[in-house]
């Protein structure tokens, strides 16, 4: 069985919605029907979910079907109102698409920044634990151990906690 992806399903739904709304407008008063506003919603959602070119294609489809199905009424309608309605379809399609793209890019940048912040916080926490361990070990060493024991403990800390296999200790004075 072949899977259909969400964008393809949206495209089919937008097409069917535009056709159905145009026919519904024809059945409820034609160009005088108040339901033409539903075309704005379909075009706006198409512009939000698809790219600019596809949004403009759906704007064209809405304009084309709206006009074709109402050809007989064009002589009786105020052309200013008709151009306003059609212009608004195109404006919504273009503007929503542009703003949606900016919004999606902002979301991507924010997610990337938060991921980097999380990574850096984890690194800082690991370093903090290492420093705390070294500090506590050095406090205990200074109180209880001889110089040889302190050196052995330092070697152990550097190998186990800091992960260095090779290193050296330089003693400047025995005191």
Percent of the chain with pLDDT over 90: 48
- Residue 60: which of 85, 88, 89 has the closest Cα? 89
Q: Which of 15-24, 52-61, 145-154 has the lowest mean pLDDT?
A: 145-154
The Cα 90–Cα 88 span in angstroms is 5
The Cα 38–Cα 17 span in angstroms is 9
Output the pLDDT for position 141.
Answer: 66
Tell me: the pLDDT tens digits for 135-155?
A: 887 777 677 777 787 778 778
Higher pLDDT, 160 or 49: 49
Cβ neighbours of residue 30 closer than 8 Å, sequence gap 6 or more: 70, 73
What tokens appear for 164 in the block?
A: 């260095």
Higher pLDDT, 149 or 21: 21
Hey, how many other C-beta atoms are within 10 angstroms of the C-beta on 137?
16
Burial annotation 96-134 (CB, 10 A radius, 16+ → b, else e): bbeebeeeeeeeeeeeeeeeeeeeeeeeeeeeeeeeeee
Tell me: the pLDDT tens digits for 83-105?
A: 898 999 999 999 999 999 999 99
Percent of the chain with pLDDT over 70: 98
The Cα 170–Cα 161 span in angstroms is 20
């Amino acid at each position: 069985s072949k899977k259909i992806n969400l964008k393809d399903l949206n495209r089919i739904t937008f097409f069917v919605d535009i056709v159905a709304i145009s026919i519904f407008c024809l059945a409820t008063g034609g160009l005088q029907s108040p339901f033409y506003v539903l075309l704005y919603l379909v075009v706006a959602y198409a512009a939000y979910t698809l790219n600019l070119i596809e949004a403009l294609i759906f704007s064209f489809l809405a304009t084309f079907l709206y006009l074709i199905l109402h050809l007989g009424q064009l002589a009786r309608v105020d052309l200013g109102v008709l151009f306003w309605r059609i212009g608004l379809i195109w404006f919504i399609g273009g503007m929503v698409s542009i703003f949606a793209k900016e919004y999606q890019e902002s979301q991507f940048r924010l997610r990337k920044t938060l991921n980097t912040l999380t990574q850096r916080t984890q690194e800082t926490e690991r370093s903090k634990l290492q420093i705390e361990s070294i500090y506590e070990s050095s406090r205990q060493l200074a109180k209880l151990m001889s110089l040889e024991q302190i050196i052995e403990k330092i070697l152990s800390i550097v190998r186990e906690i800091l992960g260095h296999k090779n290193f050296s200790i330089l003693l400047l004075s025995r005191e």
